[in-house]
Amino acid sequence: MSIERFYNFYTPICDCCEKELPAEESFQDAVDAKRRAGWKSRKDDRGQWEDICPDCLREERAGQ
């Protein structure tokens, strides 16, 4: 799960382009913010969770 914790703030970061969403005050708020912004959480090849922003999702689809 690519939500960076910085003191008491949680910042969603795209694993593809490293774009950030505004910091939230709880992990759950950060998850909700990602959902609202249209981000997608998925597992990569090694079984690690990664978060992808809508821009990267669009580029992936365009490239397929």
Instruction: List contacts with Zn ion (CB under 5 A).
Output: 14, 16-17, 19, 53, 56
Closer CB to Zn ion, residue 8 or residue 11?
11
Instruction: In angstroms, give the least distance from the CB of 18 to Zn ion.
Output: 7
Helices (H), ranges, 1-64: 27-36, 54-63
Instruction: In angstroms, give the least distance from the CB of 3 to Zn ion.
Output: 14
Q: Within 10 Å of residue 21's Cβ, how many Cβ atoms?
A: 19
Instruction: In angstroms, give the least distance from the CB of 15 to Zn ion.
Output: 8
Phi, psi (degrees; rounded to nearest 5) at 62 = -65, -30
